[in-house]
Amino acid sequence: MGCTTCGTGKPNGCKSNGGCSTGGCNRLNAYDWLSNLPMDDVESSCKIVEVSFNQGSRVDFYKNNTVHHFTKGDIIAVEGISGFDVGTVNLTGELVRIQLKKKRIDEKTAEFKRVLRLATDNDISKWKETKAREREVLVRSRAIARQLKLDLKMTEVEIQADARKATFFYIADERVDFRELIRLYANEFKVKVEMKQIGARQEAGKIGGIGSCGRELCCSTWLTDFKSVNTNAARYQNLSINQTKLSGQCGRLKCCLNYELDTYLDALQFFPDDADVIEVAKGRAFLVKKDIFRNLMWYSMADSTKHYPLSIDTVKKIKQQNLDGIKPDALETVEIISEKPIDVEPEFVDVVGQISLKTLEKNSRKRKSGDRNNQPNKNRQKGKPQQKSQQNQQQNNNKQRQQGNRNNRNRNNPKKGGGGSSKEK
């Protein structure tokens, strides 16, 4: 069976490891490096497989009680609600145990649904029919919710492979009474209805897209645990509080603000907390910013706009002197050596007087004389048909003159010609 997402005919997906090149067969295309490890006890191997549904937007675990050994990318039929569902194998073997441990699920005591069989052609055909129907059901469900004037947004509809159950994912800011909505959905679509509320981050993960970093969104590839992000995370990292730059496609603060927050917090432990203002003999110095990468603190004086870099030890020393009532003479700044190459400014060249109008006039004259020399050849070629037409016109004029002279002679001599002979008769 080929990949149903990209349409290739290769078995078990597009690549040798079962991953689809379009990214639709599984949520995150990770190679299983533990699949080729030799097993001493086959019975102790993990019987749980991770299955992805709806192009990786939903992932669940199922127990494999069959005799088949599934690999990544296989399309299988699993146990559903009062029926069966079809999904794609995402992980197998020891990697599943790592995921179960991460999600705090006990492999021995937890209850898992069963894997029924390897999906047949009939199962896949029904699965494709229900997937093609999801778009139409989503549009119709939004219209029904709008008619009931409910304050919710329907984001996605997932229909089970046997078309017996449909899950509606929605976003709502407040609690919504959708009992009447469920009744209308059941009568309209003839399925068992399940409503699930999700947040804006989960919606962005289901829709997908490209982030400002140029990579695919984390929420649509590997991120499953969404944590709250505050503006304090940006302040600790010395980022400007710009809502448009710090917000993601979901309209919330970017999840990546939390990735390096712990590193910044560890580095800020060495910086003094009560060093916003220090006093020297010239006056007060105010803290401008903290350079965490260089362990420097930048200060500015009230009477100047210059910034002075100080080391952490120097700031602590001055702060202790201020507590003892001592004001140092000056700030002991640190010399910063930049590795960036210095841009050499081009030298100024005075070009006034080098180019005069006379030289420009000479050049224009040369161009005109060159054009004139080329014109006679063109006129010669153009003049040939004109000369022929003039010669033809002169010949016609000469013929007309000769004919006129003949007529005049006949008038003067009546004996000659047809006129004279008629009079004689």
Cα 364 from Cα 393, distance rounded (Å): 42
Residue 155, pLDDT > 50, answer yes
Summarize the confidence of residues 208-222 as an average pLDDT: 88
Query: pLDDT category, 174, cuts 50, 70, 90?
Result: confident
Summarize the confidence of residues 348-370 as an average pLDDT: 68
Burial class (CB in 10 A: 0-12, 13-18, 19+), 44: exposed
> pLDDT at position 419, please?
44
Cα 398 from Cα 400, distance rounded (Å): 5
Summarize the confidence of residues 289-313 as an average pLDDT: 87
CB crowding 52-88: b at 16 or more within 10 Å, else e: bbbbbbbbebbbbeeeeebbbbbbbbbebeeebbbbb
**Whether 147 contacts 188, CB under 8 Å:** no
Who wins on pLDDT, 200 or 373? 200
Among residues 260, 266, 207, 254, the alpha carbon closest in space to that of 226 is found at 254
Cα 116 from Cα 62, distance rounded (Å): 10
Residue 208, pLDDT > 60, answer yes
At position 336, the amino acid (one-letter code) is I
Summarize the confidence of residues 213-231 as an average pLDDT: 87
Residue 360, pLDDT > 80, answer no
Which CATH fold would you assign to the domain 128-198?
Answer: GMP Synthetase; Chain A, domain 3 (3.30.300)
> pLDDT at position 4, please?
38
> pLDDT at position 414, please?
52
Q: How far is CA 31 from CA 7, 17, 51, 71, in A?
A: 21, 7, 15, 12
Cα 14 from Cα 33, distance rounded (Å): 18
CA angle (273, 274, 277) in 5-degree steps: 130
At position 407, the amino acid (one-letter code) is N
Who wins on pLDDT, 82 or 3? 82
Q: Give the tokens for residue 401.
A: 């003159």
> pLDDT at position 26, please?
39
Torsion sign (Cα): 225, 87, 22, 73? positive
> pLDDT at position 11, please?
36
Would you kindly state where each structural domain of the chain is located, as residue ranges? 1-119, 128-198, 206-266, 270-323
Cα 199 from Cα 193, distance rounded (Å): 20
**Whether 144 contacts 188, CB under 8 Å:** yes
Could you tell me which residues come within 8 angstroms of residue 84 by beta carbon, excluding any fewer than 6 positions away? 77, 78, 116, 123, 160, 161, 162
Cα 111 from Cα 105, distance rounded (Å): 10
3-state secondary structure 78-108: EEECCEEEEEEEEECCHHHHHHHHHCCCCCC
Residue 69, pLDDT > 80, answer yes
Burial class (CB in 10 A: 0-12, 13-18, 19+), 344: exposed
Summarize the confidence of residues 399-425 as an average pLDDT: 55
pLDDT in tens, 14-64: 433 333 433 344 355 667 777 666 665 666 778 899 998 987 778 899 999
Query: pLDDT category, 223, cuts 50, 70, 90?
Result: confident
Bridge-based pairing of strands 113-118 and 58-63 is parallel
Instruction: Tell me the whole-structure pTM to 2 decimals.
Output: 0.61
What percentage of the chain carries pLDDT values higher than 90? Answer: 28
Who wins on pLDDT, 9 or 205? 205
Among residues 64, 63, 137, the alpha carbon closest in space to that of 105 is found at 63
CB atoms within 10 A of CB 2: 14
Query: pLDDT category, 292, cuts 50, 70, 90?
Result: confident
> pLDDT at position 351, please?
59
Summarize the confidence of residues 129-149 as an average pLDDT: 93
Q: At what angle do helices 121-147 and 179-189 cross, to 10 degrees?
A: 130
Residue 193, pLDDT > 60, answer yes
Burial class (CB in 10 A: 0-12, 13-18, 19+), 333: middle
Residue 139, pLDDT > 80, answer yes
> pLDDT at position 21, please?
35
**Order of all β-strands in the sheet with 277-279:** 277-279, 284-291, 296-301, 307-311
